[in-house]
Amino acid sequence: MISPPIPPSLSRLGSRPFSFYPAIGNIRHNQWVYRRATWSEILVVNSRSAEELWVPRQFVGEVSAVNDPVVILGLTRELEYRDGMVTPVERRVIEMPAAVGGNRGPVPAPPADRKRPRPAPAIGIRLESPRRKRRLKWVGGALAFLILICVLLTIALRRW
């Protein structure tokens, strides 16, 4: 069983102001005072706006060893303040589709010794050549035809 991480020593903060690094998003002033802690969260108060904030311990890192110019409390993930609570930042990346008729730049020629097609550029599917597909259809059709002929001959020979 995995043991929970050792909580950082927040007793070093005392009543001195500190800053989070990276700063919590959607909050203007990044200067806080440690109030208290539970086993799962710490309560901090913004020194300018007096806003109280509960930060989950799983996102709290180490307290900086250097106190000059201000004590820094590290965060393990980038957080943001949204709807009255602190949540991890989710960055969603959406690929823009290519413009119709737009120039995507020079396309490198595939090496001559490469036999398997490579994955498509934007999504992980393989491009199958039409010749290979056509050849597989012919072979499958011929096998099906031969099996049908064998079944019909077997039925005809059993009747005689």
DSSP-derived 3-state class of residue 141: helix
Q: What percent of the chain has pLDDT over 90?
A: 44
Model confidence at 155, pLDDT cuts 50, 70, 90, reads very high
Q: Report the pLDDT value the prediction gives residue 105, as an integer from 0 to 100.
A: 62
User: For residue range 82-129, what is the model confidence (pLDDT) as tens digits?
Assistant: 888 899 998 888 777 777 766 666 666 656 555 666 655 666 555 566
Q: How many CB atoms lie within 10 A of CB 44?
A: 25
